[in-house]
Chain A
Amino acid sequence: MINHKIMDYSSKHSKLLQFIFLLVVFLLLCQFITPSENNFLWRFPSLIAGLPYLINDSAEYLMFDWWPIEVYDPEIEEFEEKPLIQQVTRAISASILFIIGLIREIILGGVKTIVIFTSWDFVSENKWARWPALPWTVVASGAILLGYKLQGKGLAMLAGFSTIYIAVFGQWEPSMQTLSLVLFAAPVSFILGLSLGIWAYKNRKVELTLNPFLNVMQIVPQFSYLVPVMVFFGIGDHAGAIATIIFATPPMVRLTVLGLKRVSPEVLEAGMMSGCSNFQLMYKVLIPTARRDILIGVNQVIMQCLAMAVIASFIGAKGLGFNLLLSLNGLRIGQAIEQGICIVLIAVVLDRMSLAWANKQTDYFADLTFFKRHKYSLIFLAIVVAGIALSYIGTFFFRENFNYLYIVPHNKGISISDTLQEGVDWIWDTFFFTLKGFNIFLIQQILMPMKAAYLSMPVVATLSLTMGVGYIIGGIRSAVIVGGFILFIALTEWWDRALITMYLMSFAVIVSSIIGVTVGTLCAQNSYTSKFILLVCDTFQTFPSFIYLIPVIMLFGVTDTSVLIAVIVYATVPATRYTVVGLRSVPPDLHDAGSMSGVNRMQRWIKIELPMSFPHMALGVNQTVVFALSMIIIGAMIGTDDLGQFILKALSDKIGIGNGLTLGLCVAFIGLAADQVIRTWANERKKILDIS
């Protein structure tokens, strides 16, 4: 009888028992494996330490030796043998530089484009052959008009405020440089992503091959892209643009495939029965019907482009990001805040505009007159004329000085950076001991012991723990996948660094999840607070990640604490969002059923809402892991000693391509291992609960 009960208990709680058993094994392994360099149970020998060199060599071979072709060199008037890849990348670089330069000069004025088609002599002889900058008033009014057209007064005001802020604070030039990078990279990513997406939609094999690449690409830290781009394309705006494109294309591919798949099969059939050819079916039926998802993809692309603004400046992209980086490096926090606000404003405006565009429905025009149909173009034309006239008047008004109605030169606008700096200094002076006390407490009492604990894990113990968790949750398949990822890292020479990354990540994820779930649960209690918190999440998610570093450096200086706090703030956003969305999507019928069974609020939360929304929350935690990892690596900019620091070092290494890529893969594999476990679990739960 008792035996029976035990059997019953063990089958009911078999997973729990398995977990306990796994934990015991793990602790035993930790206890009995001696930490010694020669004990391969303690640390695996770095068997794939050669991988980075292999990558280096192949890259160098590709770049400098492979497939030489005869190229005519006009300077020495002879044919020369040059490697194909180098010629191709140079041609690409040159054309990208030309386009970025063109966009830049349309907004900011210049002669380079004209020089390309004529010559320097021509330009210096003819004074008129010079493209003047668009007056900032024209760009600002254009943005206001666009905002009004896309959504209405609110967006127009936001756009107006942002552009005027940027102009008045003398950040016009760098902002327009950043914008020109976005204006180039975003359309290219869009076209690339759309084409790949269409291809993947049409061909299942392509989709299956593309998927793992997209998964890895979206989680490999941005810094890792920089090294290979630098090796193949050199340094400059074009390199920044290429890195940005590589980073921004995957979400576009994803959303294109998703959007096309969501087109109802009957609409597809209606197109076929109307006699569409394959081409007509794609461009007249599928893409217009999937318009919204595809435009959400455009929104993602733009956001990723801005997120890359600072990171791309590491390989020479000019603009706000570059200036911000300089300010941060010089600890000129006041200036950094001003520049950071500019980036945030640009990001928010572009985000809202592209979302408004996505949500805007097609209008009907055929009945209208020419003037009504082209109302906005005509107004814009008027704005251009008025703006030029205004700047011309300005030349009389500001005779001696800069013509502020035309362009506000860099750093010649209003600046409150000194005041801000004083504020920052005041905070330092006033709260120095409190902050420092907190800082020291955190580091000494929590972080250091945790780090030490992670580093004292034998590699075999870590491996069996992670694989065990994979097995309990997703069976053999998950165990093998997770084990493969971890094993790869363990066989590189950076296992200790990876452990530090894991410790930072797990600390941040735990804190973020606790905060996110708590805040999310509280806010999900009624619809106003839920809407409010989702809006806050939206806004926070719009901020490019490195923006988070500014306030933490301001408060905690250059320490692990700063990085961790930035990571936690950044990673709390998805945890909160998914909690709110998960709780709010519990069907109202279930609430009613609960109420009729007489549950009180607490019971409703514990017995109904929580179990129903738990899978969704788990996906939130999954996102938290991804966010945390990417922020930890960016945190290397202000000094950590994990994988990120080594990736950053690879940037300044002449043959860093192998190191950079391998390290990037290590980071990605940590994320993918967590993703595998969490996603499998969430999907399993969802199937059981019958929610999609």
Chain B
Amino acid sequence: MSSLAEATQTKQSVIQCDSVYKIFGENAKKMLQSANGNVDAKSFQEAGCIVGVNNASFEVQEGDLLVVMGLSGSGKSTLLRCISRLTDATAGNIFIDGEDLLAMSNKKLIELRRNKMGMVFQSFALLPHKTVLENIAFPLQVKGSSTGDSIKRAKDMVDLVGLDGRENYFPRELSGGQQQRVGIARSLAVEPDIWFLDEPFSALDPLIRKEMQDEFLRLQGVLNKTILFVTHDFDEALRLADRIAIMKEGIIEQLDTPANIVLNPATEYVRKFTEDVPREKVLKIESVMDPIDSSEELSDLQVSKDAIIETVAEVVLNQQKPVAVTDSNNKVVGVVHRSHVIKVLFGSRGPLK
């Protein structure tokens, strides 16, 4: 136990936010000081200040995919820009790999962005005067890599995002989906540890969006980056996230795994989002698993605890007996009863067990 605690202590979080505030307006700092941490968006607005981020504290571990979800004006993009320091937070602390982001000099910040950060934008934000290849090579070139090296690396990135054959096209000659592939390739060109995505698929058609989400999951499977992903689409968040932070008026209403958000919405606001979510598409077998009862007779079938219920529902329901659940080491850790699966599929909202 003590070794475990030690391990969590030494394992540093990649991104750490402590009570981050971002307030727009002329005397934001003064107002924040006098508010003493209790920021009320309405009273600030009357004084001419707009609250972007209100007391955000969270950590993101290495390889973690955190999705920040919120409607427009909820402050999700502002939060992202505070962490990439495209805007300076009004108060609070942000640590990247343990280093104080807000205390960094301009030079150090540029160094950080050149080596550790990559970002994808909603409107793609490609440079109109550069070709696909040149756009992708751009971060390498501003860093000072030789033309040969940067072009070679850019070619690899073109292959990675599946744009081979279009290296010498200009952004104006590409479709939206293709442009965003370039944006993704550019953000990954410097092999960043932290990957920011600001509503990357919101400007795309629904079919292309689905395709790009699959592509994104494939890439993440290969690259395993630490990711901060901003979206206004709750389904997208559920589909991609390890954890979701739901924001409203600058406040993080709830930060949890998709399953927990669907099962236990913390506030009324979050509950409204989860109402129409088909639970079998979000929940894993783990959520309906019971502890092993040795008196019970189990079927021959075994399912993984990480399987999404929808994908295994049919086979589980076709069994007469309860089904054993295994973990990633193929060890049986529990059983799943059909009645629970049926409840998820057809039952009313409410506790699962």
Contact = CB atoms under 8 A, between A and B. Distances in A.
Interface of A: 264, 266-267, 269-277, 280, 284-285, 288-289, 291, 361-362, 364, 366-367
B170 A361 contact: yes
Contacts of A272: 86, 113
A362 B129 contact: yes
A275 B187 CA distance: 11
Nearest 6 CB-CB pairings of A with B: A275-B114, A270-B125, A266-B125, A274-B139, A273-B119, A275-B113
B79 to A, nearest CB: 15
A287 to B, nearest CB: 10
A269 B124 CA distance: 11
B110 interface: yes
B129 A289 contact: yes
22 contacts: A264-B123, A266-B122, A267-B125, A269-B81, A269-B119, A271-B127, A273-B84, A273-B119, A273-B187, A274-B114, A274-B139, A274-B186, A275-B110, A275-B111, A275-B113, A280-B142, A288-B129, A289-B127, A289-B128, A361-B170, A362-B129, A366-B168
B128 A273 contact: no
Contacts of B129: 288-289, 291, 362
A277 B110 contact: yes
Looking at chain A's contact residues, the main secondary structure is: helix
B139 A269 contact: no
Interface string B68-86: 0000000000000100101
B131 A270 contact: no
A419 B123 CA distance: 63
B172 interface: yes
B229 interface: no
Interface of B: 81, 84, 86, 110-111, 113-115, 117-119, 121-131, 138-139, 142-143, 168, 170, 172, 183, 186-187, 190, 196
A275 to B, nearest CB: 3
A362 B117 CA distance: 29
A554 to B, nearest CB: 48
Contact of A364 (B81, B118, B139, B170): B170
A367 B168 contact: yes
Given A267-B127, A366-B168, A273 B122 contact: no
B142 A275 contact: yes
Contact of A273 (B117, B131, B172): B117
A269 B110 contact: no
Contacts of B86: 269, 272-273
A471 B186 CA distance: 55
Given A264-B125, A267-B126, 13 more contacts: A264-B123, A266-B123, A270-B119, A273-B84, A273-B187, A274-B113, A275-B114, A275-B115, A276-B110, A277-B110, A289-B129, A366-B168, A367-B168
A367 B168 CA distance: 9
Contacts of B122: 266
A269 B183 CA distance: 13
Contacts of A364: 131, 168, 170
Given A272-B113, A273-B118, A273-B196, A362 B142 contact: no
A366 to B, nearest CB: 7
A289 B171 CA distance: 12
B89 to A, nearest CB: 16
Contacts of A266: 121-125
- Among A264, A266, A270, A276, max chain B CB count under 10 A is at A270
Given A361-B172, A362-B129, A275 B121 contact: no
A272 B190 CA distance: 14
A269 B168 contact: no
Nearest to B110: A275
Contacts of B168: 364, 366-367
Contact of B143 (A275, A289, A291, A362): A275
Contact of B127 (A269, A273, A277, A288): A288
Contacts of A285: 127
- Among B119, B125, B139, B187, max chain A CB count under 10 A is at B125
Contacts of A289: 127-129
A277 B190 CA distance: 16
A361 B170 CA distance: 10
A342 B281 CA distance: 76
Given A269-B86, A269-B119, A366-B168, A276 B142 contact: yes
- Among B111, B126, B127, max chain A CB count under 10 A is at B127
A364 B183 CA distance: 20
A488 to B, nearest CB: 34
Nearest to A366: B168
B121 A270 contact: yes
A273 B113 contact: yes
Nearest to A292: B128
A276 B138 CA distance: 9
- Among A272, A273, A361, A367, max chain B CB count under 10 A is at A273
Nearest to A267: B125
Nearest to B119: A273
Nearest to A274: B139
A677 to B, nearest CB: 30
Contacts of A269: 81, 86, 119, 121, 125
A159 to B, nearest CB: 26
A274 B172 CA distance: 21
Contacts of B113: 272-275
Given A269-B125, A285-B127, A275 B170 contact: no
A266 B123 CA distance: 7
A273 B119 CA distance: 7
A277 B139 CA distance: 11
A275 B127 CA distance: 15
Contacts of B115: 275
A361 B86 CA distance: 30
Contacts of B143: 275
Given A364-B131, A367-B168, A274 B84 contact: no
Contacts of A366: 168
A267 to B, nearest CB: 5
Contacts of B131: 364
B43 to A, nearest CB: 28
Contact of A284 (B110, B142, B196): B142
Nearest to A363: B170
A181 B265 CA distance: 74
Contacts of B142: 274-277, 280, 284
Nearest to A273: B119
A266 B303 CA distance: 45
A272 B113 CA distance: 8
Contacts of A275: 110-111, 113-115, 139, 142-143, 190
- Among A272, A275, A280, A364, max chain B CB count under 10 A is at A275
A270 B186 CA distance: 10
A289 B126 CA distance: 10
Contacts of A264: 123, 125
A280 B119 CA distance: 18
Contacts of B187: 273
Nearest to B192: A273
Contacts of B119: 269-270, 273
A157 B331 CA distance: 83
- Among A264, A361, A364, A367, max chain B CB count under 10 A is at A364
Contacts of A273: 84, 86, 113, 117-119, 187, 196
